[in-house]
Each structure stands twice: as C-alpha cells, then as structure tokens.
Amino acid sequence: MTDSALPEYVALAKIFKPRGNRGEVAARDLCQDLDRFSDNAVVSLLYPSELREERTIENAWYHQGRLILKFAGVETISDAENLRGCQVQIPYEDLGPPPEGEHYDIDVIGCDIIDADTGRVIGKVEGVLESGGQPLLEVRQENKEILIPYTPEICLDLDIEAKRIAVRLPDGLEDLNE
C-alpha cells in the first residue's frame, strides 16, 4: 500500500455488550492476540457516532471464548453500556510487521482479484468480512459486489507487494448477485 492508502486506525475488537457489574465489556476479538490488549495499553475507542476517545485498558481476558475488557474509568454497568458498539482501535503504524509468512487482513484491501487461468481482472478487494466461518473477500466489480471465500483452495496466490490475488472461482460464483 502506498502511504496515502494506509488506514489511519485498525480495529482490534468490537464491543457488543456490558459484562458483569464492574464496568467490564464483552467484545468480539478481531485480532486473536491477547497481547494487543495488555494492561495499561492505550487504545482508541470509535463510537458508532464517529466520536473517538482514548482509553486505557486495565485488564483483558477470555471468558467462555469471549474477550472481556476492563477500561480505566468505566466502573458501572451504565458506564459499560455507553461503550456498546464501539470499535477498539490502534493506529495502523502501531501494528508492526505481521508474523513471518503471514499478513494482516487489512493488507489485502485494494488488491486486484485476477483469474488464475485467464489473467482477467475480476475486481478489487474492498474489505474482508468475518462471518463466523471462513472469511469472505468483499470484491467490487464495475456494477456489483461479489463475496469470494478467502480460502487457499480459491485464493491461490497472494502478492501483497503487487496488490494482487490470483483466484480460481467456483463455477457460478460471479453470477450469484446478478
């Protein structure tokens, strides 16, 4: 990505409800890295209203498969309720490099999707949708959007530097939204 194409912030989690009676919140973990939520880490909360504020994480842990966060200054259920729908974000430049041989989902945004057999440009990745199962690439074509399963069986070659992903689509996938 060019510097101008880099996002300013990256979401690490999304808060979906209060948890307990001491101001904790349950959140959907978007990064699967508990170290990102270390004690005293300062994060940016983006409210559904687009208001942004910095908060300090007091504690983070998993309970029954869910990420639980406790923020400084959030002491009651009512305080926690005010955080419902917030994204927990950090500046993109604070991500650091991904582990060797891996990439961040955000790095595929802007990639061209190329048919591996013909070289035809199918579209451009606009987002990665985490649906609970396999992630889906949200791909914009001229007049529509298609969802492509983000699996090694379909996405055969990923070149982050060249901003392209070679795919072999299942028959009929492109025609689903017509």
Backbone angle region of 23, left / alpha / beta, with phi > 0 → left and psi within -120 to 50 → alpha: left
What pLDDT, on a 0 to 100 scale, did the predictor assign at position 117? 94
* Per-residue pLDDT in tens (0 to 9) along the chain, 178 residues: 444 455 688 889 999 999 988 999 999 888 777 888 998 999 999 999 999 999 999 999 999 889 999 999 999 999 999 999 999 999 988 888 877 877 777 888 899 999 999 999 999 999 888 766 788 899 998 888 999 999 999 999 999 889 999 999 998 888 776 6
Domains and CATH numbers, the chain: 7-93 (2.40.30.60), 105-167 (2.30.30.240)
Three-state SS string across the chain, please? CCHHHCCCEEEEEEEEEEECCCCEEEEEECCCCHHHHCCCCEEEEECCCCCEEEEEEEEEEEECCEEEEEECCCCCHHHHHCCCCCEEEEEHHHCCCCCCCCCCHHHHCCCEEEECCCCCEEEEEEEEECCCCCCEEEEECCCCEEEEECCCCCEEEEECCCCEEEECCCCCCCCCCC
Handedness of CA 69, 74, 75, 79 (dihedral sign): negative
Backbone angles phi, psi at 123, to 5 degrees: 170, -165
State residue 4's pLDDT score: 45
- Per-residue model confidence (pLDDT) at position 139: 94
